Amino acid sequence: MEKTGQKGLTLKIAAGVFIGIMAALLVYSIPGWIRTHLKEQRDREALERELWVVDMKPEQFSARCGKLLKDELIHDFSVPRTPEGGGKLIWSAKLAARDVTVEATKSDGKKEKVTAEYRNDAEEGEELRWTLTTVGNFRVYDDGERGTLTYLYPCLLKPLP
């Protein structure tokens, strides 16, 4: 009978040691998990703020980034396209581009004349749909250049809530 009691006691001690080790590992790991989660959340929010520039409209650019110096439709050109159902290429005169120039304040506090170039992505017969392509010498759709762009011109970042 005593052997059964000893086995039970040994089993309880082993289970207690195992649970203690697992609890210690959990307590040791939780701060790292929390730091990782918070960093990922900050990175996600920063990327969301940075990507906002892609959808910035010409009116928003001039309102947020400085004194409007020039806003002009610089191209109204034809581009070849294939009609629905195929066939010969036809020329479309709907595609247009637009330049918006402002006196922007850079991150270092200096003012600089900067031009945002937009293109119209609307199809013929649709309302104009402006898409920002470049600001200064930086392409908006290039991740590395967009990071530099939002650093140089903080006005391009999405406002914090």
Q: Report domain extents, the chain.
A: 56-156
**What pLDDT sits at residue 52?**
67
Model confidence, pTM? 0.57
What is the three-class DSSP state of 10?
Answer: helix
Tracing tokens 């406002």 back to the chain, one arrives at: 159
pLDDT tens profile 44-72: 776 666 666 777 888 888 888 889 999 88
**What pLDDT sits at residue 19?**
93
**What pLDDT sits at residue 103?**
92
Burial 13-48 (b: 16+ CB within 10 A, else e): eeeeeeeeeeeeeeeeeeeeeeeeeeeeeeeeeeee
**What pLDDT sits at residue 160?**
59
pLDDT band at 148 (very low <50, low <70, confident <90, very high): confident
- Separation CA 118–CA 93 (nearest Å): 16
73 Cβ contact list (under 8 Å, min separation 6): 96, 97, 98
**What pLDDT sits at residue 105?**
85
Dihedral in degrees, nearest 10, Cα atoms 21, 22, 23, 28: 90
Q: For residue 79, is pLDDT > 60? A: no
56 Cβ contact list (under 8 Å, min separation 6): 64, 116, 132, 156
**What pLDDT sits at residue 84?**
64
pLDDT tens profile 86-134: 665 555 555 578 889 999 888 888 898 999 998 887 776 677 788 888 8
pLDDT tens profile 122-146: 776 677 788 888 888 888 877 777 7
